[in-house]
Structure 1
Amino acid sequence: MPPAYKRLNKDDCVFLFVDHQTGLIQLVRDFEPNEFKTNVSGLVKVADYFRVPSILTSSFETGPNGPLVKELYDGLPNATVVPRPGQINAMDNEDFAQAVKKMGKKQIVISGVLTEICVAFPALSLIEEGYDVFVVTDASGTFAEHTREAAHKRMAQAGCQLLNWAAVAAELHRDWRNDVAGFGEIWRDHVPGYWCLMQSYESVSKNANQ
């Protein structure tokens, strides 16, 4: 039997943003700073657009890791926030683990900094607990490409699915006709060059209606 296609379902998933902190983000070298910010902001927009519940967590904010970046708070004002006093694996923190369980969702969309630690450790724990885990590769960052690749292999071998934020958006949306303008706006603002495509579409649509 071929493997089942586990497709993201906006009614059965929760977004986890793990340790996107001002100190840790300065360690990200596998993406350019503006590119990484665009990717994370795009994923935040996706979570907000589909009204998917989100959990934000940070580790040891009073130390060098720093606070969560304000873009998370600004973009997801209704998210559950779980500051961890020091646990490296977020799932080792009882408040965080209970917050995930309380959501009652089967699918976990996870991103964070650093990829091989703050993402991989909870992702592996969640797989062990029976969740379907989707790792957002371009909204997660780390020291270098070779450490990222090792982390991706480790998570994929355990059963995590790897995809970028745009793929998350598309799989949740299913059909462009559901909302061309709203969905297209996310792509326009966060996919390089897509602003031109949206302008072309808007121009054609306008002329067709005249």
Structure 2
Amino acid sequence: MRWGTFTSSNSVLLLIDHQVGTMKLIQNIPFETAKRNTLALTKAAKILGMPIILTTGTENGFQGPLLPEFKELVPEAYDARIARSGVVNTWEDPEFRAAVEKTQRSHLIMAGVTTDVCLYSPALSAVEDGYPVQAVLDASGSPTELSEQLARQRMERGGVTLTATNTLIAELARDWSRPEGSELLKLMVDDVLPPVF
């Protein structure tokens, strides 16, 4: 299945359940890596003027509030977050679906915590509804390597494109020489790529 290029003008960033409690469940990659990449994706979308939709599961349980950095980085998206009342498959939440449709963007970029519960199901459901979806796996994560691998396999078999933060940012940048491109390159060097020295 060929979806065409994801661009800053046709894509929306969907960040699912990046809450202080759920983030602690990530064990297959370091917590700080997942957090750093999630915030880098947010900064990249902001630089490019892309819509950002944040959603949470039950905030008053162990999942807790969103990462506090979102409030500073994207206060409007933070205030407009979709606070679900327990719906596991975010795509089945009418308010979330309405927010996605309101953007009028045809391509979905998703990251979620955890991959094996919160990301794979909405990613697959969105593909079934005809949306091209990229799942950013280093801004997501699971409690075990096995559950992560199985979720990745299900997504890939279902037509979701699996990607990483630096790959996605480069795809959206398209040209490092334009003003946004140079900002994104600096973001990749400072926030995403490991230091070379």
Global fold match (TM > 0.5): yes
Corresponding position of 1:162: 162
> 1:164-210: CA deviations, max 9, x gaps?
0111110011111113541222012211126x6xxxxxxxxxxxxxx
Corresponding position of 2:141: 141
> 1:49-86: CA deviations, max 9, x gaps?
11110100001111111111112222222324110011
Corresponding position of 2:70: 72
- Larger C-alpha radius of gyration, 1 or 2? 1
Query: Displacement, 1:5?
Result: 6.1
Residues of 2 paired with 1:25 and 1:178: CA distance?
35
| TM-score, normalised relative to structure 1 | 0.87
Residues of 2 paired with 1:48 and 1:84: CA distance?
24
Aligned with 1:193 (options 183, 192, 195): 195
Residues of 2 paired with 1:164 and 1:77: CA distance?
25
CA RMSD of aligned residues (A): 1.5
Residues of 2 paired with 1:129 and 1:170: CA distance?
27
Q: What letter is aligned with 1:175?
A: D
Q: Which runs of 5+ in 2 are unaligned?
A: none
Matched residue SS, 2:59: coil
Size of the aligned set, in residue pairs, is: 193
Residues of 1 paired with 2:31 and 2:130: CA distance?
34
Q: What letter is aligned with 2:96?
A: F
Corresponding position of 2:22: 24
Residues of 2 paired with 1:5 and 1:90: CA distance?
22
Matched residue SS, 1:60: coil
The alpha-carbon distance between structure 1 residues 106 and 5, as it changes in their structure 2 partners (threshold 3 A), is closer
Query: Displacement, 1:22?
Result: 0.9
Percent of aligned positions that are identical: 32
Matched residue SS, 1:8: coil
Corresponding position of 2:60: 62
| TM-score, normalised relative to structure 2 | 0.92
Residues of 1 paired with 2:2 and 2:56: CA distance?
34
Q: Which runs of 5+ in 1 are unaligned?
A: 197-210
Aligned partners of 2:42 and 2:52 also within 8 Å: no
Residues of 2 paired with 1:40 and 1:9: CA distance?
18
The correspondence of residues 23-172 of structure 1 with structure 2, limited to 5 A, is 23-79=21-77, 80-172=80-172
